[in-house]
Amino acid sequence: MADILVTTTERVPGHDYEVIGEVFGLTTQSKNMFSDIGASLKNIVGGEIKAYTKMLQESRATAIERLQAEAAERGADAVVMMRFDSGSIGADMQSVVAYGTAVKFI
């Protein structure tokens, strides 16, 4: 889906477009028990919990891929005004959504 442009801006320089509508890409992930134990220990001494940082990076990448796939299914050339939202589900799951407006170049 690399051919679907994703931008956080409202305008794409050099292009006029018509709005198709909102599109979303969602993922929910959790780490394994060993990562949770490591995170608990890190919580005592402080610092970055690299396993969770990596999980969130992977979640954002997956959310963008799914956003692009939905945009492609709707015939879009790009997604403008892309944003992320995230939240916890319980103590050990993280949900990430990428959302924006699918557009077709004219």
Distance (Å, whole) CA 23 – CA 21? 7
**Domain limits at 20?**
5-105
Q: So what's the pLDDT on residue 52?
A: 83
What is the CATH classification number for the domain harbouring 36?
3.30.110.70
Are 93 and 28 in contact by the 8 Å Cβ rule? The answer is yes
The pair of three-digit structure tokens given for residue 40, joined into one six-digit string: 């608990």
pTM above 0.95, yes or no: no
Q: What is the pLDDT confidence band of residue 39, given thresholds at 50, 70 and 90?
A: low
Read off the pLDDT of residues 40-61 as tens digits, 9 standing for 90 and up: 555 566 778 888 888 889 999 9
Distance (Å, whole) CA 79 – CA 30? 28
Question: Is pLDDT of 33 > 80?
Answer: no
Overall number of domains in the chain? 1
Read off the pLDDT of residues 70-103 as tens digits, 9 standing for 90 and up: 999 999 999 999 999 998 887 778 899 999 999 9
Q: So what's the pLDDT on residue 47?
A: 79
